[in-house]
Amino acid sequence: MANRALYLKFLSAVLLFGAWEVAGRIPVSFAFPTFLESMGALFRMIGDGTMATAYAETLRPLVVGVAISAFLGIAIGLWVGLSSFFEWLFSPIFIVMQAAPLAALIPLLVLAYGIGLTSKVLVVCIMAMPVIVLNTAGAVRNTPESMKEMGKAFLATDLAIILKIVIPAASPVIFAGLRLGISAGFIGAILAELKITPTGVGDIITYSRSIADYPSMYAAIFSIILLAVLFLNLLEKIETVLFKGNQRGYVSD
């Protein structure tokens, strides 16, 4: 089973990269390099240390922003999900945040917080947090009533019901929210580097485009997508280890 899934993933990667190579060779556009050219640029930049310096720069707001979004997002989500007062107070904010056009907000953030790390972290948070909060709150609110009742019948305290029943029951949806939030966080980090100040990976993209070094530009874009995919897979592994029985969904009959 696991082998088959891996095989299929590999196959779809080969198909995608093959199509990319073909499209690059036709070529679709003179600004569209082939897959092999892009990989060449990628390995060159990894080799000369360009990538390492760029990621040192890019990962900072990304990691800080994603960490804040995950912790604060889950905490606020639990709170909102458990209390209708906090739902009334907070959930409009996150719904607006989720719907707001981020590009339009960036100038305001820069005005308020300058062009430093703070603004970039905020961009990542604005992208990542709402979906984490809303998913967590929704999952908490939908905890099966019968499980909570079971907890009460066996003398669980309110805290124990939250820790031992509500959170594990909500965990698949919380993790789904984390995955969506973290992918959005990656987008936010790159967006911040493109819109605020060109640093890190955003700088490679902007600079190599300005000098028409398209293979480098695509290599940078490819590397960030690859990183996001690897990270999401890691998250999935963590979830599987933490909540084994949840894989098959719920049993109620």
Sites of contact with other proteins (CB under 8 A): 146-147, 149-157, 160, 164-165, 168-169, 171, 243-246, 248-253
Task: Output 28 or 160, the one with its CB closest to other proteins.
Answer: 160
Q: Are 115 and 196 in contact (CB under 8 A)?
A: yes
Q: Are 68 and 125 in contact (CB under 8 A)?
A: yes
Task: Say whether 106 sits in a helix, a strand or coil.
Answer: helix
Task: Output 231 or 243, the one with its CB closest to other proteins.
Answer: 243
Smallest distance from other proteins to CB 128, Å: 26
Find the DSSP H helices in 114-213. 117-141, 145-153, 158-161, 167-195, 200-210
Residue 144 has phi, psi (to 5 degrees) of -55, 125
Smallest distance from other proteins to CB 163, Å: 11
Measure the CA–CA gap between 86 and 94, rounded to whole angstroms.
12
Task: Output 49 or 248, the one with its CB closest to other proteins.
Answer: 248
Smallest distance from other proteins to CB 155, Å: 5
Secondary structure of 191-211 as H, E, C letters: HHHHHCCCCHHHHHHHHHHHC
Smallest distance from other proteins to CB 81, Å: 18
Smallest distance from other proteins to CB 143, Å: 11
In whole angstroms, what separates CA 100 from the centre of its chain?
18
Question: Which amino acid is residue 125, in one-letter code?
Answer: C
Q: Are 12 and 30 in contact (CB under 8 A)?
A: no
